[in-house]
Amino acid sequence: MIDMIEKEDSIISEEEAAQYDRQIRLWGLDAQKRLRGSRVLLVGLRGLGAEVAKNLILAGVKGLTLLDHEQVTEESCRAQFLIPVSAQGQNRAQASLERAQYLNPMVAVKADTDRVEEKPDEFFLQFDAVCLTGCSRDLMIRVDQLCSQNNIKVFCGDVFGYHGYMFSDLGLEHNYVEEKPKAVKPKTEESNEHDGPEAKKPKVDPSETTMIKKVNVDFCCLKDALEVDWTSEKAKSSLKRTPVDYFLLHVLLKFRTDKGRDPNPESFAEDSTLLRQIRDDVLEAMTLSSELLPHDFVSYCFSEMAPVCAVVGGVLGQEVVKALSQRDAPHRNFFFFDGMKGSGVVDYFGPN
Amino acid sequence: MVQLVGSLRKELADSVSDCNVLVVGAGGIGCELLKNLVLTGFKNIEVIDLDTIDVSNLNRQFLFQKKHVGKSKAQVAKESVLQFCPTANIKAYHDSIMNPDYNVEFFRNFMLVMNALDNRAARNHVNRMCLAADIPLIESGTAGYLGQVTVIKKGLTECYECQPKPTQKTFPGCTIRNTPSEPIHCIVWAKYLFNQLFGEEDADQEVSPDTADPELSWNPADTEARATASDQDGDIKRVSTKDWARSTGYDSVKLFNKVLFKDDIQYLLTMDKLWKKRKAPLPLDWLELQKLGTILEVTGTGLKDQHVLGVAGYSQLFSRSVETLRSMLADKGDGAELVWDKDDPAAMDFVTAAANLRMHIFSMNMKSRFDIKSMAGNIIPAIATTNAVIAGLIVLEALKILSGDVEQCRTIFLNKQPNPRKKLLVPCALDPPSANCYVCASKPEVTVKLNVNKTLVLALQDKILKEKFGMVAPDVQIEDGKGTILISSEEGETEANNSKFLSDFGIRNGSRLQVDDFLQDYTLLVNVIHCEELEKDVEFEVVGDAPDKAPTPPSSQEEQKNFANGNKDSAEPSTSSNAPAEQDDVLIVDSDEEPSSSTMDVSTESGGLKRKLHDAETGEASAKRQRLDQATADDDDDIIALD
């Protein structure tokens, strides 16, 4: 993996300048150039995947590979805005390709129809960032381990009904810059009585800014983030400030591993029962009370809600942009969104 | 047993597919919102937008492609959505929501209205229409990385106008004309100059030295005398800048030397009181500058527009742009005027050059065309992801409303970084209506201070009733026992009154005016206070308003929930004719300092709007309602409105 700092081509075309104008005015030309040199892998093209794809393509990455082995069903037509209604039976990545490419012809968008589990290690190494949606816990752990060893930024995310999360692993040492306004030093001068009304002082131009370079350490791997030990008293006392969604995530990932799919509204009754069972098992194994997840939690985690995909996809997309452009402090290391409450929380889980 | 249709309970899913909703705006938020609505199962959607598609929209308004540039946003948005959801029933209007066709009856067709706007005038208007029709309104705004969503329901929550919003920052005339100290002052001056030379001349946009500058004299009577004198003389040398310029054939050297950057500056230097504590300006001479040679070429890897030329380069740019503008004006024929537009290259070049030359004269670092365009054009940076998040939140609020759970609705702020409570998205309880609101109170009333002998009826209509109080078509009756009609919204009926003063109609201190806007179903009683001592450049003052100049930065104690409203609210002449509105809206920015412990989250277990806010984590109750800390950070420099 090439050091990202010197990757970019130096010239930005007129076309890019015009199209990216409003975002260049926000994150600057350097950031845009880095994006322009970045290749991203996106796994999973359901609702959340489509949102992330849109956000990264609009941002202007160099290339985006859409990887999904599943087929388009009637449900996925309703769930996602890249797949045309006529595409039933086609591969999901393939079906999303055309509309994805139309979003921004300057990005090289590709579709890959293989199973992500069957991809060899080398496959992942061609990317600067990898984003996993709809993947099993084991796969995410494996890919995260492989990629972060090779300085590839890793992101995971899912939406379950009204709830959603994203996780990021930017490696042991992620560098970024921040832009701050130049500090205005207040001048104090006595006003001379004889000079009449106090004259205005010349000011420092308030629109001048300065870049501050920062170094960030300490993104842990997904395995460590998920395997936090809750048995200690200290851990238990921190529960009050811990987003409950962290535990919900464990339950839903276990469901996915056990059933090979996510909870389905068409089997609401059986899946609800199973979810509650898994909740009991998971929380017990963590030596925690199953009251942590209230009885009705099952009502709100079926299917992918489009607005929740939009929120999580927006935050996740922006984290990928930040990491690739190396600008602005990344969220560390989870973001949890509860669509019922409208609350979005950033929290760190991992070894202390 | 709960029955689900997708993620939603059956009853909710049915309401969603049956109801009619209105989306006002099809830009950054609008595109994302339309997509979310149809994917959530909304079937009957009407969308309205007066704007056409521009290439700079394409980084985020994802329903549009390059081939659509120039076409109607509402129309193309509809067509794009139908591509992935052909069963949606979408009606698109390429029109302004302020068109009287969209009356209260029209609004009553909808269960819910969602704003995706970028300017305050339209927001005020939709606010009133929704109050009149008693339809819930979801309001939202974004700027850069920040965003905000809130819900407005008549009688239950604050309306959009319950809290006074800071008006756009304006600068005193003497700062613009005599003593600029920041680049923005020079940019405003350059835009005024454009209008004086090529556009609609405006008495409030003078560019020549201001002899009535209060700083020149301690004695207020002196200043007054000087002001009257200069009014009579027509301010320094010329009566009409445009006529003078025309008489010289828009000779740019003459403009440069005799007027703008040499002679006028030399005149300023004679006003020595101004320069006792300030660095004095240094006049420029055209010929001397040309000797420095031209440096117009740009090399390097940055954007062409981001380079800063030398002062000689800007003098050349000035000359070239004047020539181009002169010929554009000539092409338009007699009595023509140009309207400044940031996307018109010559107009932008002119302001870049003129502003930079002035900055140089006043010892400020010159700026690139890129930066000047941001400031002059009130460009608000915008990206897809912020809009995506906000539009997702809008639909979630909509679902609460449709479920009949409006007490669950919240104002939600999107921050750039999490607050000390780890929140990136911060929900806050909605406030009840303000009893004194001049819009949604039962009998709204305001008091306005002005000079009845100097205020024209036209100014009352345009600057006070329309601009300040957000009316679209006001009708005004004097409560004088005779019901004298001062202003009629019917075209032509009271035109003869426009050039008369209020006092000509017997209006004096203590008079009351009944103002109606029938479209908005809004009646406002205006109490008039006659005042002869208003501040310089101030035509009227609303009693109870915060001062109009720079908005007061809210402290951590203040409750300020703000939707600042983007560039279109500046009083200056609009940019392009179809849509001056440029971007999605701005909101209040997070303070750089750590918010105090008064930062509140909202526990949803306890219902109701009027209750003590609980800190769900620590169990403390707060004695008074406190808002998320929202100081205006320096990011606000992006959002400069020019007077």
Indicate yes or no: CB of B426 within 8 angstroms of CB of A85: no
Of residues B40, B182, B386, nearest to A206 (C-beta): B182
pLDDT number for residue B158: 97
Cα–Cα distance for residue pair B513/B377, rounded to 1 Å = 37
Q: pLDDT class for B250, splitting at 50, 70, 90?
A: confident
Q: Residue B545 pLDDT > 60, yes or no? A: yes
Residues of A in contact with B637 (CB under 8 A): 181, 206-207
Indicate yes or no: CB of B56 within 8 angstroms of CB of A21: yes
Kindly state whether A58 is in contact with chain B, defined as any CB-CB distance less than 8 angstroms: yes
Q: Which residues contact A287 (CB under 8 A, 6 or more apart)?
A: A230, A231
**Residues A260, A263, A267, A271: what is their CA dihedral angle, to the nearest 10 degrees?**
90
Kindly report which listed range (B178-187, B494-503, B559-568) carries the lowest average pLDDT score.
Answer: B559-568
Alpha carbon of B280: minimum distance to chain A alpha carbons (Å): 11
Q: Which residues between 247 and 306 in chain A have a beta carbon less than 8 angstroms from any beta carbon of chain B?
A: 265, 268-269, 299-300, 302-306
Structure tokens at A148: 């972060």
Cα–Cα distance for residue pair A223/B452, rounded to 1 Å = 75
pLDDT number for residue B534: 85
pLDDT number for residue B621: 32
Q: Residue B239 pLDDT > 60, yes or no? A: no
Q: pLDDT class for B602, splitting at 50, 70, 90?
A: very low
Q: Which residues of B are annotated as a binding site?
A: 25-30, 49, 57-60, 73, 96-97, 118-123, 159, 162, 437, 440
3-state secondary structure of B412: strand
Alpha carbon of B312: minimum distance to chain A alpha carbons (Å): 23
pLDDT number for residue A10: 64
Of residues B40, B41, B62, nearest to A54 (C-beta): B62
Q: Residue B297 pLDDT > 80, yes or no? A: no
Distances from the Cα of B633 to the Cα of A15, B185, B552, B579, angstroms: 32, 20, 12, 28
Complex prediction ipTM: 0.93
For residue B153, give the nearest of B167, B173, B136, B140 by alpha carbon.
Answer: B136
Q: pLDDT class for B208, splitting at 50, 70, 90?
A: confident
Strand ranges, E, within B146-304: 146-152
Q: Residue B70 pLDDT > 90, yes or no? A: yes
Distances from the Cα of B612 to the Cα of B189, B428, B605, B616, B620, angstroms: 50, 12, 13, 12, 10
Contact B588, B562 (CB under 8 A): yes
pLDDT number for residue B533: 87
- What are residue A129's phi and psi, to 5 degrees? -150, 145
Of residues A78, A84, A241, nearest to B83 (C-beta): A84
Q: Which helix (H) or strand (E) holds A64?
A: strand A63-67
Cα–Cα distance for residue pair B503/B485, rounded to 1 Å = 14
Q: Which residues of B are annotated as a binding site for Zn(2+)?
A: 159, 162, 437, 440
Looking at chain B, the whole-number percentage of residues with pLDDT higher than 70 is: 79
- Which of B422, B428, B535 would you mutate first to test chain A, the one with the most A CBs within 10 A? B422
Q: Give me the active site residues of B, please.
A: 174
Indicate yes or no: CB of B182 within 8 angstroms of CB of A346: no
Query: What is the residue-level pLDDT of chain A in tens, covering all 352 positions?
Result: 434 444 445 688 989 999 999 999 999 999 999 999 999 999 999 999 999 999 999 999 999 999 999 999 887 767 799 999 888 899 999 999 999 999 999 999 999 999 999 999 999 999 999 999 999 999 999 999 999 999 999 999 999 999 999 999 999 889 999 888 776 655 544 434 333 334 444 456 666 777 787 777 679 999 999 999 999 888 888 898 899 999 999 999 999 999 999 999 999 999 999 999 999 999 999 999 989 998 899 999 999 999 999 999 999 999 999 999 999 999 999 999 999 999 999 999 998 6
Q: Residue B264 pLDDT > 70, yes or no? A: yes
Q: Which residue has the higher pLDDT, B296 or B427?
A: B427
Number of other residues whose CB lies within 10 A of the CB of residue B486: 22
Contact B250, B322 (CB under 8 A): yes
CA angle B250, B254, B256 (to 5 degrees): 100
